[in-house]
Structure 1
């Protein structure tokens, strides 16, 4: 059952690798600026770098505790700034943003578990298994 830790790390990391690559190019900076994020042209690519490095760390099982903290650092401000459902006037938009916020809270929980427990078996951090 050791393979489950590896599978979990792979699946967990994918969202950060793909969105990180997307954000590094500046994609979404206009959306973030409209949402009130200051210096979105800098912060969106920087957030993408945090997500990408954290995701690759988790995927490879290398320095996973640090990578998980990068993901935590990415998720907290992004969740508050971009999914602030409590400020939405349109009930449908508020519901969608609440779902996105809660998704991020759930992922944040997974990142905190990785920050505490580390990579597990089949990782660079712990050798082969």
Structure 2
């Protein structure tokens, strides 16, 4: 069963690791600039937060902190970039609602990791392993 926790961390972190690099492209920054002030600073900063949080979770090192970085990343991104309720085109609204709800599910997962940590197969577990005392 402990393998499932590791697999869950890998699946969760992979999404953020793969998308983080996009936060450094001029195209992404320009697209976000219409909705977010200081996009040239905030978008790359969010990419750094996303990458550091995801790597922390993936490796299981300080995973609770990494999860909170993901939470701090997801909340403003979800609320500012996926305002599906403001979109009039039904298909575009549906697509943005799916992205909004995906982010809500990811937020829930990050909150769980933030509370429970990285599990038994992690660097955190190795670092915090209590030595066996000889009697």
Same fold (TM over 0.5): yes
**Counterpart residue number, 1:38:** 37
Query: What is the aligned-residue RMSD (CA, Å)?
Result: 1.5
Which of structures 1 and 2 has the bigger CA Rg?
2
- Structure 1 runs (4+) greater than 2 angstroms displaced: 24-27
Which shifted more, 67-76 or 89-98?
89-98
What are the superposed Cα offsets for residues 27-64 of structure 1, whole Å, 9 maximum, x if unpaired?
51111012x21111111100000100000000000000
Q: Does 1:116 align with 2:111?
A: no
Unaligned runs of 5+ in 1: none
Q: CA deviation at 1:91?
A: 1.3
**Counterpart residue number, 1:82:** 81
Structure 1 pair 16/87, CA: closer, same or farther in 2 (3 Å)? same
Unaligned runs of 5+ in 2: 130-135
**Given the two structures, how large is their TM-score scaled by the length of structure 1?**
0.94
Aligned residues of 1:26 and 1:44 also touching (Cα < 8 A): no
